[in-house]
Structure 1
Amino acid sequence: MGCATSASPGNRSGAQSTNGSVDAPLPEPVDPRLPLTARQRFSIQKSWKAIARNMETTGVTMFVKLFLQHEELLAVFKKKFKDVPVDQLAKSPELENHASQVMSTLDEAIHSLNNLNFFFELLYTIGVTHRDIAGFRPEYFWASALDNSW
């Protein structure tokens, strides 16, 4: 009875329905390797745009907070920051450089959420580079994202 049909599973191009209107394309299938819905992935990428405008400052702030909340983590960075007092870390060129590298890597990872082969290769490579750091534990990656005690 004049009822519009929706796009069939094979119709991803936005073809016309029986009533002449153009159906919106169906969302692409979600890759089971990434435990995010397409909407969550979009939200992350959209939210990141605000952070990306000021990545260096955000990165430094993130690390300073991390070190204040988990002072034991500073021991992992002692060589890198050469005993800079915690209250002076925000002005440390070494921390600024490290924060910039981390934020750039996060930027690359978030932008590659649509290419999961590259995304997982990037995460693997970052993990390998941290494996041989004396005192580093994988839980430290989560510390900046979550307020957990180890």
Structure 2
Amino acid sequence: MGCELTKNNVVVPEMPEEDVTVFSDTQIDTIRSTWPLLSRDGVRVGVEVFMRIFRETPSIRRLFESLGSKDIDNLQHYPVFQDHALKFMKVLESLVQNMEDPEVIQPHLVALGVRHAAIDGYHPEYFRVYSKCLLEVWEMELGEEFISEVKECWKHVIKYIVRYMVHGYDMCLTDQLENVMTDCNFEKLDYT
């Protein structure tokens, strides 16, 4: 099982020795106390994240073939786009729910990285764009509650997510996928 990609010129970094696998009690409490504010209108917030991403890096918008040539200002009303935004928020929710045992979500994040690697035109630097835009939307949504401690906790969570998605992306590029998809039970965490 391999990925059919045209990304042979991408340099695949080794996974760093430092493993972000444990969240402190403070991080868990902070994330869980802010998550209800961020997820109370998950579709709207998820849509806002992607709208910001598309404005920040228009080349990412072209990767969403299902959106066709829809005007960016009208995307928030398009059901396929809303569905993708909701799935994105479900991934975050799954991590929030499993912070004491993050190994539960790791294979799913790796598999999502594999899926992103299989998207023709997806570049690993897009993960940085997602991270930046996500934090910007979180700041907008949380307002004065987005103090530096909250921001640092969310940065840690985002770093965790990106780390495992990049690992899946890299595995796809190097054809190391034998166990990735079988380790994931996508029915358990239905955000596919």
Do these two structures clear the TM 0.5 threshold for a shared fold by scoring above it? yes
Contact 2:23 2:99 in 1 (8 A): no
- 1:122: which partner in 2? 108
- 2:39: which partner in 1? 52
Amino acid at match of 2:73: D
Contact 1:109 1:122 in 2 (8 A): no
- 2:83: which partner in 1? 97
- 2:118: which partner in 1? 132
Pairs aligned (count): 115
Structure 2 CA distance for aligned equivalents of residues 70 and 146 of structure 1: 11
Structure 1 CA distance for aligned equivalents of residues 22 and 131 of structure 2: 16
Query: Quick check: 1:61 aligned with 2:48?
Result: yes
Runs of 4+ in 1 over 6 A off after TM superposition: none
Structure 1 CA distance for aligned equivalents of residues 128 and 81 of structure 2: 19
**By how many angstroms is 1:36 displaced?**
4.2
Query: Quick check: 1:39 aligned with 2:26?
Result: yes
Query: Quick check: 1:80 aligned with 2:74?
Result: no
**By how many angstroms is 1:134 displaced?**
0.6
Structure 2 CA distance for aligned equivalents of residues 33 and 70 of structure 1: 27
- Structure 1: runs of 5+ lacking an equivalent: 1-31
**By how many angstroms is 1:74 displaced?**
1.0
Amino acid at match of 1:51: L
Structure 2 CA distance for aligned equivalents of residues 35 and 70 of structure 1: 32
Structure 1 vs Structure 2: percent identity of aligned residues? Answer: 23
DSSP 3-state at the match of 2:132: coil
Structure 2 CA distance for aligned equivalents of residues 35 and 112 of structure 1: 11
**By how many angstroms is 1:124 displaced?**
1.0
**By how many angstroms is 1:135 displaced?**
0.9
**By how many angstroms is 1:145 displaced?**
2.4
Structure 2 CA distance for aligned equivalents of residues 34 and 66 of structure 1: 27
Q: Tell me which protein shows more helix as a share of its residues.
A: 2
Q: Structure 2-normalised TM-score?
A: 0.55
- 1:144: which partner in 2? 130
Structure 2 CA distance for aligned equivalents of residues 96 and 116 of structure 1: 27
Alignment CA distance shift 1:55-1:95 (3 Å): same
**By how many angstroms is 1:103 displaced?**
0.9
Contact 2:22 2:100 in 1 (8 A): no
- Structure 2: runs of 5+ lacking an equivalent: 1-18, 134-192
Alignment CA distance shift 1:65-1:112 (3 Å): same
Amino acid at match of 2:119: I
Amino acid at match of 2:66: K
What is the RMSD computed on CA atoms of the aligned residues? 1.8
- 1:26: which partner in 2? none
